[in-house]
Amino acid sequence: MELVEQLNAIAEPEGRAEIKARIGAWWHGKEFDRDAYLQRVEEEEAAKAAIPPKIKPLDDGKKVTPPPPRVAALETVWGRGRFIPGDGELDAMLIEAMGRVKGRIGKIGLLGVDAVSADVLAQAAGEAVELVEWREPCVKRSSELTENARVSKTDLDRMNRFEDGSLKSMISIDALTFVDHKAGLCSRVYRALRDGGRWAVVDYSANPDFNSQTAFASAWAEPQLLHGENLQSTLETTGFKLVRRVDATRVVIGAVKAAFARLGPALEDVVAEGMGGRDAALMLQEISWEAVAWRKRLQALESGSLRVDIWIVEKPGAISDEVHEETPPAASAASLDEELFSKPEANAPQPENNEVVDGLMNSASGGDDPSEDESWDVAGSDEGDGEADAEEELDQSAVDDLFG
C-alpha cells in the first residue's frame, strides 16, 4: 500500500485511477486495455447516477434572510414557506396526483409549487425535484427554504427549464390561471414529459360570467380564467389523455378559512419580532389586499362560480417498460484497490462487467438566465421584484378596511 500512497500524492483523481488500473493489469500479468477501462469508468458513473440523491430532513428552524414585504405578507397569512393556501390534505392530494415515480427514469418537475409542498413531494418520491418559478420573490425565497429542490426562474409564457423527454411527472399550480398563452405552455410540458409521463394541473376554472378582478386583486398578474370544458379541451388538443379530474374546491376553502383563523396570532408574532418602518407598512398593505381578495374568492368558490380542480393528464405511451431495476452501488475506492491489487485465485473466472441501466435522473437543467428579468404585479401594478420605489405612496385605505 506504500506504492498506492505515493501514487495518491502525485496524480489527480482520474489519473490515479488509471495508473492503479495499469499497475493492476501488470500485477496480474495482463495487457492493459484502456478502451475497456474507460468503458468501465463510464458504467460506474452511470451506476452512481442511478442512485437517487439523499433526501434531507425538513428544517423548520432554518435561518434565512428576511423576505420582501410581498412574500412576508403571504407567509404571515398562509404559513412559512407557503405563498398560496395549503395544508396536509392538499399536499396528500398532490402526492396521489403525482402518480408512481419511484424506480422510473426521469425527473420530477414542479411549476409554481411553494417551498413546503416541494419538500413534501420530494420526501414522498424519495428524490430531489426540479422546481421552476415565474415570480422572482418566490424564486429567491424557495431556494433558501427548500431542502430537496433545485430552484430556477422561468418565464411562464416561455417555460423552457425542462429538456424534451426529461420528466416522468410534472405538477403545476395556478400556471394555466396566469399564463397568457395556454396552448404554448401545454405544448412545452408535453414535450418535456417522457412517453407515459403525467401532468397534475392544479388550476382555477370559472363560469363564463364570472368577474375575476376583485377575487384576484392581490394576485401576481391578471388571471386568464377558462371554463372547465375549455381547459380540458386545451389539454386534450395538445395531445394529453385525461386520466381524471379531482375537485379540490372544498379542501382549498378549508385551508383558507383555517389560515385566516390563525391570522390574528400571526400578526402578533410579527409585531413581537419588532418588524417596523416602511417594510412593515407595505406588508400590512399586502395582507389587507390578500384578505379582501380572498373574501371575494371564497364567496365565488362557495357559490360555484369558481372552482379548483386537479386535472390529471398523461402523455400517451408506455412507461411500464421503463421501470428501473435496483442497481447496486458503484464500487468504492477501497474495493477498487482490493480488486486491482489482490492476489488472483487459481483458475478463477474473470469477472464480467455488470450491465448498468441509465440513471434515474438526468443532469439538472440550467441555472437562472441572467437575461430574464421579470416583474411581478399586485392588483395589476408593476412593482419590479417586490421592492417598492422610495417615493411610492401607501394605499392606507386598504389597511384601514382590514384593521379599522
At 228, which amino acid appears? G
User: Residue range 82-89: average pLDDT?
Assistant: 93
Share the mean pLDDT of the chain: 78
Strands 193-206 and 306-314: antiparallel
| Selection from 257, 233, 237 nearest residue 245 by Cα | 233
Q: 258-271 burial string, b = 16+ CB within 10 Å, else e?
A: ebbeebeebbeebe
Q: Which pLDDT does position 401 carry in this prediction? A: 56
Which residue ranges make up each domain of the chain? 69-319
Q: Which residue has the higher pLDDT, 315 or 382?
A: 315
Please state which of the ranges 10-19, 65-74, 100-109, 237-246 shows the lowest mean pLDDT: 10-19
At residue 312, φ and ψ (nearest 5 deg) are: -105, 110
For 384-394, write each residue's pLDDT tens digit: 444 444 334 45
Q: Which pLDDT does position 36 carry in this prediction? A: 87
- CA 55 to each of CA 140, 228, 323, 357, 369: distance values in angstroms, whole numbers, following the listed order: 21, 37, 21, 22, 27
CA–CA separation, 50 vs 326, rounded Å? Answer: 9
Q: Which pLDDT does position 274 carry in this prediction? A: 64
Written in H, E and C, the secondary structure of 286-339 is HHHHHHHHHHHHHHHHHHCCEEEEEEEEECCCCCHHHECCCCCCCCCHHHHHHH
Neighbours of 172 (CB within 10 A): 24
Strands 149-153 and 381-382: unpaired
Please state which of the ranges 188-197, 328-337, 340-349 shows the lowest mean pLDDT: 328-337
User: Residue range 121-137: average pLDDT?
Assistant: 93
Given a cut of 50, whether residue 379 has pLDDT beyond it is no
Q: Which pLDDT does position 332 carry in this prediction? A: 42
Q: Please give the model's pTM, rounded to 2 decimal places.
A: 0.67
Q: Which pLDDT does position 328 carry in this prediction? A: 41
Q: Which pLDDT does position 325 carry in this prediction? A: 38
CA–CA separation, 392 vs 11, rounded Å? Answer: 61
Class of domain 69-319: alpha beta
Which cell goes with 213? Answer: 378582478
Q: Which pLDDT does position 12 carry in this prediction? A: 54
Please state which of the ranges 111-115, 215-219, 363-367 shows the lowest mean pLDDT: 363-367
| Selection from 220, 162, 226 nearest residue 191 by Cα | 162
